[in-house]
C-alpha cells in the first residue's frame, strides 16, 4: 500500500515519497507498511458440552459394538471372593502331612469340639427383610453373634472350616494354637497365642466391651490356592514344639518341612501381630457387625467412614492385612444396595485395600458409575475418591489391567468436568502422571495385541488433558513435562483413530492460543507434517479440520519461522486450496438450500455455519502466511488462491457472514502489497475493485475500512485510479477523513496520496474540503501518530508540486498548516508530552525517520511561496 521496494530511487513509487538514500530491507518495508500486512484473529472453535457423561461422546467414531459400554449392571456377584485373600510373601509347596488339631489346656481333661454343621437359622442373627438377600447363609453364619463364655471349654468351629486347626485363638485356657513357623517363643517374636498374652482380667474387661461377643467367634473362612492349600497356610505353620504345662503334642517331622520353616523365618513380619489381633477385635469387628445389621443407608455410610478411619489408624489398608478377605466380602455384599453415597464409601475402601484382577475392574466400574452422575460431584469432592483413583493409575500394570484403568480413567475424566475437582487434580500431580501414562501407551506398538484396547484408554486420557488445559498451572506443567512431544507421538501413532486425534487436536487448539505453548509447538518440526497428514486424511471431518486450521493460524500469527516452515512442507498450499474448494462447495450448497427454503425473507443466522467457520479460519492462515516476504510473494502469484478469495467476495455479502468477507478482503490486501511478476492480484485488479465497491458501500464500518485498505494498495495502478475517479470513490475517501478515527484516516489518506501522484487528479483534493480535512487530521492525530502525519505531509507535498502561491494552493488553511508544521517540527514540543521514556524513544524514531524529512521540505515550500508570513504563536499540544 504505502510502501514498496523501489528498484531505483528515480522511479515513481506507489506512494509518492521523497528520495531515500539506500535500498530498504524487507523488514524495514514491513515495518513502514503499517497495517498493510496484517495477521488475523478469530474465535477458538466451540466445543459443546455433552448432555450426558459417557465413556465415549455422542460424536465418537467408534461403533457401539466395538467399544466398552458406558452403562452396565454391577452387583455383589461382580466381585470375586477368591481374589480377596491376603498376599503371601512366598509361594510354598503343599505340606505332605495331614494337619492334626493341637490342644493347649490348663486341665488334663480339657477338650475341643470338632466342626459342626451350620447353626439352625432360627438361632442365627436376625437380618431385616429388606437386606436379607445380601447376607444369605451359604455355608454357615458369618460373624456369628453367639456369645462364648470365657469359661466355656467346648469351642465351636465354623462349618466352613476343615477338620484342621483354626486360624484364630480361642478364649479362656482352652485355645487352638495358630499354625506358625517354628521359632523360639517370646514376646518380641510377635507370635500370637491369645491365652499367653492376655490375662484373664484383661479378657474379662475386653469381653465387657462392644467387641466382646465377637472376640473368639471370628469366622474361619479361608481361600484355597492353586496348589490346593489354604491361603493362610502360606503364612502359618505348626511348630515342631510349642508346649504349655499339662499339654503335649506331636508333629510329623520331615527334612522338607524344616527347610520351608527356615526359609520363612524372615517372613514373620507378615504374620499377624498381637496388636493387630486386638485392634481387629476392638475396632474393626464391631463396625463389620454394624454393616451386617444396619439397614439405614445414612447409618451405613457413617459406618463405612468409621471403618476407613479405623483401617487407616490400624495400618490395615493394602494387601498385607491378613483378614482382608473377611472385610472385603462384607463390603462386596453391600454393593447391591442402590445408593451412590454408600457405593462411593465402599469404592474408596475397596480401592484402598489394593484389590486386583476382577475385583479391581469391578470397583473401577463402581467408581465410574458414581462419577457418571454429575449430581454426585459434591459428595465426591468431600470423600477424596480422586486420591484413590489417581493411585490406581500410578501403580497398576497398564497391559494386565487395561480395562480397569479404562473405567478408572473414565471416572477421572468425569471429575475433570467439575471446576473444584479439576483444580484438585492439578495440585495432586495429575498432569505429570497422565503424561507418564501416555508415554507408556506410546511405547506399545501397533502390532501389539494391547494396542487397540489402549486406544480406548487414550481417548479418556486425552479428554482429561483437554479439560486440564484450561488451567494456567496445568498449562505450565504440560510445557515443562514435554506434552508437545508425547502428544505428537500419540497423534502420529493413532492417525487412524479419529477420537484420539480429535482430543489431541482439541488440546493443541486450546494451548496454541497462548504464546508460550505456541512457541513450544512451533519448535516441534514434525507437527506441520502431522497436521497436513490429518487434513488430507480427514478432509470432511469438520470438527477435526477446523481445529487444525485454527492451530496453524495461531502458529503463523506471530512466528515468521513457522510461516516459512509450514509453507515449505510438501503439498502445504495444495492442501489448503483443496480444503478451500471443499468447504466453499459445501457453503454454496448450504446457501442454495437456505434460499430455496425461503431464507430471503428471514434473518440470516447470527453465527457462521460449519462450512463458513472453516473458511474463516483457513483464510486466516493464508493472511498470516502472506506476511512473510517470500511466502507472500509466492501466494500473490498463486492464481487459484486469489480466485478463491475473490469468489468469496462475489457470492457472500458482509451481512451474510461479516468475518468471512472481511478476512477475504484482508488477505487480498496483504497479497496486493507484493508487486511481483505474474501477480494474480494484478491480473484481476479491476474485478477485485468492483467487488470491493460493494463492500465499500455497505453499512459495516469494518468492511468499509478493509475495502479502503485494499484500494490503498490497488491505487498504485493507473487503471484503478481511473476506476476511483469514474465511480466517484475519491469523494468517499475525502468524507472518511472526518471519521475521527486515525486508522480510517490513515487508509483514506493512502488512497488520496496515490491519486495525487497523477498531476491531472490533484485538483480533486479541493472538492469537499479535502485540504482542510487533511489539516484537521494532522492537528488531531499528528502528535500521537507520526506515520499518519508523514502520510498527510506527503499527500500535501504531491498536491503542491506546482505551487505558485501558498494562499491559492492551500486557501484559508495556509496559516493553520504553517503553525502546525512549525510546532510539530519542534522536538521538545512535539515529543515532550510523553513522560514514558520508552514511548518517547519509540515516537522519536518515527518522528526523525519519517515525519521530519517530509515536514521540513513541505514547510520550506509553503514559506517560500507565502508573501506575508504571519506571527506564529507556538502552543503546546
User: How far, in whole angstroms, is CA 72 from its chain's centroid?
Assistant: 28
| Angular region, 834: left φ>0, alpha ψ -120 to 50, beta rest | beta
Mean pLDDT of 457-477: 94
Residue 306 pLDDT more than 70? yes
CB 85 within 8 A of CB 223: yes
Q: Can you give the pLDDT at residue 838?
A: 73
Indicate the angle between helix axes 837-846 and 786-799, nearest 10 degrees.
Answer: 20
| pLDDT number for residue 414 | 94
pLDDT by residue (tens digit) across 842-867? 778 889 899 999 999 999 999 998 76
Whole-number pLDDT of residue 538: 92
pLDDT of residue 70: 66
- In the prediction, which pLDDT does 150 show? 39
Grid cell of 437 as nine digits: 501414562
Residue 649 has what pLDDT?
Answer: 94
The tens digit of pLDDT for each residue in 722-780 reads 999 999 999 999 999 998 888 889 999 999 999 999 998 998 888 888 999 999 999 99
Phi, psi for residue 284 in degrees, rounded to 5: -90, -50
Segment 313-331, tens digit of pLDDT = 988 888 877 788 889 999 9
Q: Given pLDDT bands bounded at 50, 70 and 90, which one contains residue 73?
A: confident
Greater confidence, 425 or 36?
425
The CA-based dihedral angle spanning residues 809, 811, 813, 817, taken in that order and rounded to the nearest 10 degrees: 30
> What's the average model confidence in pLDDT over 823-833?
82
7, 10, 15, 21 alpha-carbon torsion, rounded to 10°: 80
pLDDT at 151 > cutoff 50: no
Query: Contact 552/531 with Cβ under 8 angstroms?
Result: yes
**71 three-class SS:** coil
Q: What is the pLDDT of residue 143?
A: 44
The C-alpha atoms of residue 189 and residue 171 are separated, in whole angstroms, by 21
pLDDT exceeds cutoff 60 at 90 = no
The rounded percent of the chain whose pLDDT value lies above 90 is 47
How many CB atoms are closer than 10 A to CB 142?
Answer: 22
Whether the per-residue pLDDT at 335 is higher than 80: the answer is yes
pLDDT at 606 over 90: no
DSSP H or E run through 693:
helix 685-696
Rg for the chain, CA atoms, rounded: 42
Start-to-end Cα distance in the chain? 30
- Residue 835's pLDDT is 57
User: 590 pLDDT exceeds 50?
Assistant: yes
Residue 792's contacts (CB-CB under 8 Å, 6 or more residues apart) are 749, 774, 777, 778, 782
pLDDT category, 790, cuts 50, 70, 90?
Answer: very high
- What's the pLDDT score for residue 154? 37
Average pLDDT for 578-583: 95
SS3 for 522-563 is HCCCCHHHHHHHHHHHCCCCHHHHHHHHHHHHHHHHHCHHHH
pLDDT at 83: 60
* pLDDT tops 60 at residue 115: no
Which stretch of DSSP H or E encloses residue 176? strand 175-176
User: Which residue would you say has higher pLDDT here, 840 or 762?
Assistant: 762
Judged against a pLDDT cut of 50, whether residue 132 lies above it is answered with no
Banded model confidence at residue 44, pLDDT cuts 50, 70, 90: low
Q: What is the pLDDT of residues 235-280, one digit of tens each?
A: 443 333 333 444 443 334 444 444 444 444 444 444 557 788 888 8
> Mind spelling out the 3-state secondary structure of 822-849?
HHHCCHHHHHCCCCCHHHHHHHHHHHHH
pLDDT of residue 663: 94
- Using CA atoms, how far residue 683 sits from 329, 639, 811, in Å, is 83, 9, 41
Evaluate whether 3 touches 33 at the Cβ level (below 8 Å): yes
pLDDT for residue 343: 94
Using the predicted structure, report yes or no on whether residue 72 has a pLDDT greater than 60. Answer: yes
Q: Cα–Cα distances in Å, from 194 out to 104, 273, 370, 787?
A: 11, 11, 43, 96
pTM for the full predicted model: 0.71
Q: What integer best gives the mean pLDDT of the chain?
A: 76
Q: Output the pLDDT for position 791.
A: 94
CA distance 23 to 138: 98
Separation CA 350–CA 362 (nearest Å):
10
Residue 230 is given by DSSP the state B
Mean pLDDT of 677-705: 91
Cell of 746: 490513515
| pLDDT-above-70 percentage for the chain | 68
Is 60 exceeded by the pLDDT of residue 59?
A: yes
Measured CA angle at 236 (ends 233, 241), to 5 deg: 130
> Has residue 505 got a pLDDT over 90?
yes
What's the confidence (pLDDT) of residue 361? 94
In this structure, the chain runs to a length of 877
Q: Which of 31-45, 98-112, 540-554, 861-875 has the highest mean pLDDT?
A: 540-554
Q: Mean pLDDT, to the nearest integer, of 371-378?
A: 92
Helices (H), 280-339: 285-293, 297-313, 324-334
Amino acid at each position: 500500500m504505502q510502501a514498496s521496494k523501489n528498484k531505483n530511487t528515480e522511479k515513481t513509487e506507489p506512494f509518492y515519497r521523497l528520495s531515500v538514500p539506500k535500498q530498504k530491507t524487507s523488514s524495514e518495508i514491513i515495518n513502514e507498511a503499517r497495517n498493510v500486512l496484517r495477521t488475523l484473529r478469530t474465535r477458538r472453535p466451540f466445543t459443546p458440552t455433552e448432555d450426558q457423561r459417557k465413556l465415549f461422546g455422542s460424536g465418537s467414531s467408534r461403533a457401539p459394538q466395538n467399544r466398552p459400554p458406558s452403562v452396565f449392571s454391577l452387583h455383589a456377584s461382580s466381585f470375586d471372593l477368591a481374589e480377596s485373600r491376603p498376599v503371601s510373601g512366598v509361594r510354598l509347596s503343599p505340606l505332605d502331612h495331614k494337619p492334626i488339631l493341637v490342644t493347649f489346656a490348663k486341665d488334663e481333661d480339657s477338650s475341643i469340639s470338632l466342626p459342626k454343621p451350620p447353626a439352625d437359622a432360627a438361632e442365627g442373627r436376625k437380618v431385616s427383610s429388606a437386606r436379607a438377600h445380601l447376607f444369605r447363609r451359604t455355608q454357615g453364619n458369618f460373624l456369628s453373634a453367639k456369645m462364648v463364655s470365657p469359661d466355656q471349654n467346648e469351642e465351636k468351629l465354623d462349618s466352613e472350616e476343615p477338620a484342621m486347626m483354626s486360624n484364630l485363638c480361642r478364649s479362656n485356657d482352652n485355645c487352638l494354637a495358630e499354625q506358625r513357623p517354628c521359632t523360639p517363643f517370646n514376646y518380641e517374636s510377635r507370635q500370637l497365642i491369645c491365652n499367653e498374652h492376655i490375662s484373664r482380667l484383661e479378657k474379662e474387661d475386653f469381653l465387657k466391651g462392644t467387641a466382646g461377643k465377637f472376640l473368639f467367634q471370628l469366622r474361619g473362612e479361608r481361600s484355597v490356592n492353586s496348589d490346593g492349600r489354604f491361603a493362610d497356610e502360606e503364612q502359618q505353620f505348626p511348630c515342631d514344639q510349642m508346649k504349655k504345662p499339662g499339654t503335649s503334642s506331636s508333629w510329623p517331622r520331615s527334612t522338607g518341612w524344616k527347610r520351608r520353616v527356615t526359609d520363612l523365618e524372615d517372613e514373620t513380619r507378615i504374620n499377624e501381630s498381637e496388636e493387630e489381633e486386638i485392634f481387629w477385635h476392638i475396632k474393626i469387628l464391631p463396625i463389620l457387625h454394624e454393616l451386617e445389621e444396619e439397614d439405614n443407608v445414612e447409618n451405613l455410610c457413617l459406618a463405612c467412614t468409621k471403618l476407613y478411619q479405623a483401617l487407616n489408624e490400624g495400618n490395615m489398608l493394602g494387601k498385607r492385612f491378613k483378614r482382608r478377605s473377611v472385610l472385603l466380602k462384607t463390603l462386596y455384599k453391600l454393593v447391591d444396595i442402590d445408593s451412590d453415597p454408600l457405593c462411593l464409601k465402599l469404592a474408596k475402601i475397596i480401592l484402598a485395600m489394593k484389590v486386583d484382577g476382577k475385583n479391581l475392574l469391578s470397583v473401577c466400574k463402581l467408581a465410574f458409575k458414581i462419577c457418571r452422575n454429575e449430581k454426585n460431584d459434591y459428595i465426591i469432592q468431600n470423600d477424596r475418591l480422586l486420591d484413590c483413583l489417581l493411585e490406581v493409575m500410578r501403580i497398576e500394570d497398564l497391559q494386565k489391567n487395561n480395562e480397569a484403568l479404562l473405567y478408572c480413567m473414565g471416572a477421572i475424566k468425569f471429575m475433570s468436568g467439575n471446576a473444584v475437582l479439576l483444580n484438585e487434580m492439578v495440585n495432586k500431580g495429575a498432569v505429570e502422571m497422565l503424561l507418564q501414562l501416555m508415554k507408556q501407551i506410546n511405547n506399545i506398538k501397533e502390532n501389539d495385541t494391547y494396542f487397540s484396547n489402549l486406544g480406548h484408554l487414550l481417548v479418556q486420557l486425552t479428554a482429561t488433558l483437554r479439560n486440564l488445559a484450561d488451567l494456567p498451572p496445568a498449562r505450565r506443567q504440560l510445557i515443562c513435562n514435554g506434552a508437545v512431544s508425547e502428544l505428537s507421538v500419540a497423534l502420529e501413532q493413532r492417525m487412524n483413530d479419529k477420537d484420539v486425534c480429535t482430543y489431541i487436536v482439541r488440546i493443541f487448539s486450546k494451548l496454541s492460543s497462548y504464546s508460550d505453548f505456541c512457541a513450544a509447538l512451533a519448535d516441534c518440526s514434525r507437527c506441520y507434517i502431522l497436521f497436513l497428514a490429518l487434513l488430507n486424511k480427514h478432509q470432511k471431518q469438520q470438527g477435526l479440520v477446523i481445529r487444525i486450521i485454527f492451530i496453524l493460524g495461531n502458529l503463523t500469527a506471530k512466528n515468521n519461522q513457522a510461516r516459512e516452515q509450514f509453507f515449505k512442507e510438501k503439498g502445504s498450499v495444495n492442501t489448503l486450496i483443496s480444503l478451500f474448494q471443499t468447504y466453499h462447495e459445501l457453503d454454496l450448497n448450504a446457501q442454495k438450500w437456505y434460499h430455496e427454503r425461503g431464507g430471503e425473507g428471514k434473518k440470516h443466522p447470527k453465527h457462521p455455519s460449519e462450512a463458513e467457520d472453516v473458511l474463516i479460519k483457513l483464510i486466516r492462515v493464508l493472511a498470516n502466511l502472506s506476511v512473510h516476504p517470500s511466502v507472500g510473494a509466492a501466494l500473490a502469484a498463486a492464481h487459484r488462491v486469489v480466485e478463491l478469495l475473490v469468489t468469496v467476495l462475489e457470492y457472500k455479502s458482509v451481512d451474510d457472514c461479516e468475518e468471512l468477507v472481511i478476512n477475504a478482503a484482508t488477505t487480498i490486501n496483504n497479497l496486493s502489497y507484493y508487486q511481483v511478476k505474474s501477480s494474480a492480484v494484478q491480473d484481476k485488479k479491476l474485478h477485485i475493485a468492483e467487488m470491493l465497491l460493494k463492500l465499500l458501500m455497505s453499512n459495516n464500518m469494518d468492511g468499509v475500512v478493509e475495502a479502503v485498505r485494499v484500494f490503498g494498495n490497488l491505487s498504485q495502478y493507473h487503471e484503478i485510479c481511473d476506476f476511483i475517479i469514474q465511480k466517484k470513490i475519491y469523494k468517499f475517501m475525502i468524507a472518511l477523513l472526518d471519521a475521527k478515527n486515525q486508522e480510517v484516516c490513515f487508509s483514506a489518506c493512502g488512497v488520496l496520496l496515490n491519486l495525487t501522484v497523477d498531476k491531472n487528479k490533484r485538483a480533486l483534493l479541493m472538492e469537499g474540503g479535502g485540504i482542510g480535512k487533511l489539516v484537521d487530521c494532522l492537528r488531531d492525530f499528528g502528535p500521537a501518530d507520526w506515520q499518519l502525519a508523514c502520510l498527510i505531509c506527503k499527500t500535501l507535498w504531491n498536491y503542491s508540486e506546482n505551487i505558485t502561491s501558498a494562499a491559492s494552493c492551500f486557501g484559508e488553511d495556509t496559516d493553520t498548516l504553517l503553525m502546525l508544521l512549525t510546532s510539530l517540527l519542534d522536538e521538545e514540543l512535539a515529543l515532550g508530552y510523553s513522560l514514558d521514556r520508552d514511548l518517547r524513544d519509540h515516537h522519536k524514531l518515527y518522528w526523525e525517520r519519517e515525519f521530519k524529512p517530509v515536514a521540513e521540505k513541505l514547510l520550506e515550500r509553503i514559506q517560500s511561496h507565502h508573501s506575508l508570513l504571519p506571527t506564529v504563536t507556538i502552543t503546546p499540544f
